[in-house]
Chains A and B, each alone.
Chain A
Amino acid sequence: MQTIDLRGVSCPTNFVKAKLALEELENGTVAQIFLDDGEPVKNVPRSLKADGHKLLGLKQTEEGHYILELEKVEE
């Protein structure tokens, strides 16, 4: 499983970093993106959906951050 750790990275840098990391992956790859609570978890999933990727789920961890699971969809 590919992981992209964006904890501690604020908006919109986290989204741009996610885009760059996803560019490296094969189409159809499932990745986990680690996001902070607050603005990041509200903004980043929505922006990645708008970019065409398929969001698969969201889980909160015991430490309080979120793991967004998505499948890379090439435009």
Chain B
Amino acid sequence: MADEKQTKLDLNNLKAGGFIKERGKDLFTVRLRVPGGRMSVPRLKKIAEVAEKFGGEFVHLSVRQSIELININFRDFDAVVEELGEKSQKVASCGARVRVPVACGGCEYNPNGLVDTQKSALEVDEKLFGTPTGHHKFKVAFAGCPFDCPKSATNDIGFQGAIYPTLDKDACIGCGLCAKSCVPKAIAMGEDNKPVFSNDPCIWCGDCVKVCPTGAWSEAKRGYTVRIGGKWGRNPLVGTLFATFLPEDRAVEFIAAVLEWYKQKAEGLGRIRLGDTIIKEGPEELLNHLRSRFPENTVAETIAPQIIATQIGK
């Protein structure tokens, strides 16, 4: 396949990254773009064909939901891109760019899902994928509910689906299923055998609404809980709360606003992630920036991303 002496390559294919040097001479991993981890069956078949023709004996499923073709000779880059079909299967990215968003299955078939994370992931992928940050990588994840399988708060921006419950006491039959189902104990049964709600422990998971036999519990509002500044790696940080009940259709705009702040504030600080930039500048700076555009969703106050001490005890 790769026997021409003079190798010509379309270097445009390389500009967003996604071709990653391996140990072996001339060999690269090709990281495919799979936003939200959803892969149609025909595409999966196509990828299998390309992997069989150009790659090694296996593919690797990355932690961030990508399929990675292994042992691709760099001389085959153009052929691989062409055979994958530029329209249906694109190559992903690496380096200081907005990466492919991760998402859970969302709400179409998963009974826990509160919001359409798949739709959000596709929108972000379409509008922001590959945007250079100027400083470091930038990761986004969407979790459909507060159980948060995608570990959203370990991303630069983590979105978590949420609903705020409200009770119609007249429709309540006093069965107590809501109190029984409420893991954070935000609902207790009162003396009148009706539920009593406390806002503070509530994590907005909506289990009360889902279990309520009569629809007495219903949803007052829905959207994303947004945590910012997380990362994992050598010095892990957990992102902290910056916005609540952000409408699903404003996720792209929200990320763009955070990116704008990051690009500007990290100028001159070298190769620095968003979370460390927030620690340096103080979370109020970013809160104020966001409040001007998302006044109804930005929280009144927050704390800087939290350092996780993973080296204690050595």
Chain A residues near B (Cβ < 8 Å): 41-42, 45-47, 49-50, 54-58, 66
Contacts and interface: CB of A to CB of B under 8 A. Distances in A.
Given A42-B180, A42-B181, A55 B175 contact: yes
B211 interface: yes
A46 B206 CA distance: 12
Contact of B180 (A54, A55, A57, A58): A58
Contacts, number: 35
B111 A58 contact: no
B260 to A, nearest CB: 42
Contact of B111 (A45, A50, A57): A50
Interface string B248-289: 000000000000000000000000000000000000000000
Contacts of B180: 41-42, 58, 66
Contact of A46 (B175, B176, B181, B183): B181
5 contacts: A46-B111, A49-B211, A57-B173, A57-B175, A66-B180
A21 to B, nearest CB: 19
A45 B211 contact: yes
B213 A56 contact: yes
B207 interface: yes
B185 interface: no
A54 B111 CA distance: 18
Given A46-B181, A46-B207, A55 B213 contact: yes
Interface of B: 111, 173, 175-177, 180-181, 183, 207, 210-211, 213
Nearest to B210: A46
A56 B214 CA distance: 9
Given A42-B180, A42-B181, A50-B210, 19 more contacts: A42-B183, A45-B177, A45-B211, A45-B213, A46-B111, A46-B211, A47-B111, A49-B210, A49-B211, A55-B175, A55-B177, A55-B213, A56-B173, A56-B175, A56-B213, A57-B175, A58-B175, A58-B176, A58-B177
A55 B172 CA distance: 12
Contacts of B183: 42
Nearest to B180: A41
